[in-house]
Structure 1
Amino acid sequence: MSNEPEIFDFIEDNDQTRARREHLQALAALVGNVYPNKFERSRVFNPPHEDTITAVINEDALTKIVGNETFNETFSSLRRKARQGEKPAPEETEQANNFLNKIRVRLAGRLAVPPRVMGKAAFVHLSDGVSRLQIYVRKADVTGVRNDNSTDPVDGWQLFNLLDHGDFIGVTGYLFVTKTGELSVHVEELQFLAKALVPMPDKLHGISDPEVRQRRRYADLLAGSLKIETETDADEATRELSPRETFERRAKLIREMRHFLDEHEFTEVETPMLTPVATGAAARPFVTHHNALDITLYARIAPELYLKRLLVGGFERVYE
């Protein structure tokens, strides 16, 4: 018998985690495989690439797909009123929905808020890590999809009620705007993709402890993607960058530095991470042993020695 620890051994045992495990067991009985490895999204907004939530909520892309001036004016008015907190006229939403209802999408994302059922229907937001999109699930309309080879449908409403905040799902449906002017997806098919076995971080404040943010960057990124935008966040001049934006800007800076060096005829090289001699002046290096070669190696602290050897070998401009 294996002594390997189970995944549940690493998860704190409390009422919330137990409820999520029970939901996972019920989902396994309902949809079969609770760890599907594939979900194909639609390719409407940026073919041949798959649609993301960020692509769907892009107003320019949406108006381009519809290609109707009347819709463009109506939809722009709806979005403007929604941002200002005004309720649009019923005629405007009806006119916009005449066009939007013809656009069918297949999207995947994480439940950004806890599911809240209102009678026989529910609104909930999906997140792709960057943007959010509201979905509308109604008991009479939604069908569940199994994750095995069976083509038999399952009770979509039962499936929805087994979901928790942070779960990944796939949805198929058509676009529409609500009475408040919010772009949404009317879900016709619902597919379970992955279960979040632990509760999500605070969606209002995120993670405030700086040490936790640095030590658990994955949790910080997740909390940032689920955090509700406040009035302070809406002000571009004063808002703090989200963890994801920090990562993305760092990547852009490094890309531009590479571009600058490449343009000036520098050659990018890769030098050893483990060296037979200690480097880095007075710093104490990490020491390890290479069993196959039976030699002692040191983790490099500075890459300068091998870069200088490249200069000796005839490379005038190098970077790493």
Structure 2
Amino acid sequence: MITVSLFETPLLSKIICHPRIINETLTTRGAIVAESQIKHIAVIGAGTMGVGIAQAFLLAGRTVTIIDVSAEALERCKTQLQQNVQSFIHHKLTTHSIEKVMENVTFLQCDITDIPLDNIDMYVESLPEIEELKRSLFSQLCNTDEHVILATNTSSMTVSRICNELPTQHRMIGLHYFNPAHIIPAVEVHKGPLTSKQTIDTTLSLMKAIGKQPVLVQKEVPGFIINRLTGAMEREIDFLLDEGVVSPEDLDIAVKASYGFRLATLGPMEAEDMIGLDTAARASANIFPTLSNAHLPSKQLLEKVANNELGIKSGIGWYDYRNSQSTEVLANNNEKLLKQLSLFLAQQPQGK
């Protein structure tokens, strides 16, 4: 057994998958099963994202195995899952009991080379953003059955970057969840150039079946859709803060009470139609030339990182959390988002 943790950064020993000819005709291989036949999902990585990903499958009645090399991580995952389900019960977002949910989940401690390869219909990888780590895992998963979907929760890498040269590219797909994954409805579904239509269609259907709102990223691009949008906004935020145009506190108030308030109900294209495309065009022509084109993070942000002011997890970031427990701060944030989720779901058309 390899003793390197799934979460350590040194390169893992190269794992050689079963040799096959990469350019053989993909369409002649075994068919991906229908969404309703995906009954057992393995979530690899028991961190914050892993537990959120697992919860949606469990609340939809699927069986889940959560896999991690760390017994401590699995124990934290189990506790967090129970707390998350309880919060859903409190907000009437599920009719399942905690006991019922926990009957359908298994917590498995094992290393990357010992991950079970049988009796699982889909693997969802939720490991740190380390390319070699992800590639090593998917090399190991080359030996799974042909009907099995292999998904990565990468937030920045393309599918082809992770699975280039692997013989399983036709059943590889990206599922980009948003933190907290058990609350945020959207999932970006992104594909590689060789991902089969069956894999895409089944994955989209599966996400809808478990209550998520999938969005298909139609072309490979780093950052996909939302991270590119938030990255553009982050760059302008950095500029406004560095130039002393606004304080962090007032910036949050401004966004939550205007743009963010509207976005919770109206998407940017709906809002632009409401404002008027002629007005939007004139405003863009006036503002675009003045926007930041920086290629690096802001000076203030880099200074905070250098000083270990990393946000809630370190006790201080743009705000000071040192007089509060991090678990309390996160629970308070989740409580706000759960109320928003209830309102969001109430506004969705029937059958969506």
TM-score (normalised: structure 1): 0.26
Higher helix proportion: 2
Higher strand proportion: 1
TM-score (normalised: structure 2): 0.24
